[in-house]
Amino acid sequence: MKLNGAQIVVECLKEQGVDYLFGYPGAATINIYDELYKSREDITHILTSHEQGASHAADGYARSTGKVGVCLATSGPGATNLVTGIATAYMDSVPMVAITGNVSIPMLGKDSFQEVDIQGITFPITKHNYMVKDVNILADVIREAFYIAKSGRPGPVLIDIPKDITSMTAEYTRKEPKVYDKPQNFHIPEKLVEIINKAKRPMIIAGGGVIRAGASEALMTFVDKTKSAVANTLMGIGATPYDHPLYTGNIGMHGSLTSNRLVNECDLLMVIGARFSDRVVGNEHKFAKEATIVHFDVDPAEINKNVVVHEHVIGDIETVLTMLNEVIIDKDAPEWVEHVAYMKKEFGHQVNYDTVNVPHMLKRIAAHCKPTDIVTTDVGQHQMWTAQHYPFMFPNRFLTSGGLGTMGYGLGAAMGAQFANRKDRVVMITGDGSFKMNFNEIITAVKHKLPIKIFIMNNNALGMVRQWQNLFYEDRFSSTDLGEDIEYVGFAKSLGAEGFVIDTVDQIDDVIEKAFSSNKVSVINCRVATESNVYPMVPPGFAIHEAIDQPDQIGK
């Protein structure tokens, strides 16, 4: 049947099973929005307060479900406002399709009103992108975009559609979505099996690739059979249950002392679905010097990119681990298991329960939450403390910006996650600096009656930068002290949300209970000390096993 381009866009979204679409309309997308209005019983469009909020919401939807998140913006500034969210998804391998409008084809290249080369702008931060200049290929482009976004190593795909394409007609025939079948023809080298079986002190670094591949269960079988200590990167948190006896915590610049030190004690280091980020490796010349390093990844471009490894396997992580679990021995390594337990006890994270501080708050929030509740963060000190102290038990429950480090990510992601997971509680942990980046999305959350709980760890500062100024710049606090510039309770109430304050220890549980019992967006202003720093920390140029837990250790 003959449909116009706008109708084809909406019909293809229906084909792909899209239930939520996050966006902001404009002249270049008005035809698409007219068709969305007609199809509002099939696709719920969420009007965000800003296009960046739409991109982060699509990201949070995708991370919490494993499905493709979708966002839509008009041309020019609408399209460029998606860029930060697209880059965030790209760095963290999140499946997303971003659709943008553009000026009509005859107006392209003429600096027309609200014209921008969004295809060129997003070329480095997408798996693939398109400008559709022929309505006859529009449907196939959309179908291919969804397939690319979720296949292999997931990531964002952008489709730019000139306005006149949305009014031109073409033949449309409905098609079932193409299913991504994970390749099964991997070769597991006998030498690798031998290396794993012979290792006496094995360790695993599990990254976000484990979660994206749905491989957490296969990973834990692998951990139990090999008796490997297992640490998570920031993106891998939740791949390993927090309470597993061989779980050693997160790793890297603010990782646990246990994880960071064991890397230089193990004789076999298996990095699974992670890219050897600089924040994980530290000084690469001193990294895991006693170990044979093996890398498992779906993306061949990551092999030997940051750290040269001894062995590697390229393939879908779940398939690879499942195959390995069938051929490796069920090892008995009591000395190594006992040593891991000793290290966890000796070097575990400490919490001061006598004051209102972020680790203390996180422990109490967790005590009121279910293990299946979803936690989002912004970026900064609060993010690192959350990675250290919150007891995540399942994958896809911790949503945070890792690779790009996007302040302002958390609220949009929380909205996307809450729309997708109506029965689960969504908690956002943020700092006063990050919160100000995108707090306008409270309007969206209130409008849609999303009961998101927003805990602002308010230290009246840009805490992470201030920490570096404290440790390495002789306390020259340039533009990082914020002061008490917002009365958060009044601010929250002015937008239709609820507001609370936590000043003292005896208020913590009472306020959390009140906030959690409310069916409204709740903003909780947690007043914490400005001077608090995140430890452990790996100073610049140090190896991760040289992490410090006191400022006077710098330079030693």
Helix ranges, 161-215 (H): 190-198, 208-212
Distances (CA, A) of 324 to 33, 94, 97, 274: 49, 26, 34, 18
β pairing state of 169-171 and 2-4: antiparallel
Which tokens go with 364?
């109490």
DSSP 373-406: -EEEE-SSHHHHHHHHHS---STTSEE---SS--
Distances (CA, A) of 121 to 102, 104, 220: 13, 19, 40
Question: Does the N-terminal peptide bond of residue 536 adopt cis geometry, omega within 30 degrees of 0?
Answer: yes
Asked about 286 being catalytic, the answer comes back as no
Active-site residue identified among 11, 22, 35, 51: 51
Asked about 113 being catalytic, the answer comes back as yes
> Which of these, 219, 224, 289, 222, lies nearest to 233 by C-alpha position?
219
With beta carbons less than 8 A apart as the criterion, state whether 411 and 445 touch: yes
Active-site residue identified among 127, 163, 331, 453: 163
With beta carbons less than 8 A apart as the criterion, state whether 288 and 264 touch: yes
- What is the maximum alpha-carbon separation in the chain? 74
> Which of these, 155, 135, 231, lies nearest to 404 by C-alpha position?
155
Q: Which residues pair with 272 in a beta bridge?
A: 206, 296
With beta carbons less than 8 A apart as the criterion, state whether 21 and 46 touch: yes
Active-site residue identified among 38, 113, 184, 198: 113
Q: List all residues 6 or more positions away from 344 whose beta carbon is below 8 Å from its beta carbon.
A: 248, 249, 258
Q: Which residues pair with 24 in a beta bridge?
A: 73
Helix/strand/coil percentages in the chain, nearest 5: 40, 20, 40
Active-site residue identified among 203, 270, 437, 464: 464
Active-site residue identified among 14, 15, 107, 114: 114
Which tokens go with 6?
């706008």
Asked about 51 being catalytic, the answer comes back as yes
Rounded CA-CA distance 253/362 in Å is 20
> Which of these, 142, 170, 174, 161, lies nearest to 31 by C-alpha position?
161
Helix ranges, 39-186 (H): 51-65, 77-80, 83-91, 118-122, 138-150
> Which of these, 339, 350, 400, 343, lies nearest to 545 by C-alpha position?
343
The residues assigned a catalytic role are 51, 113-114, 163, 464
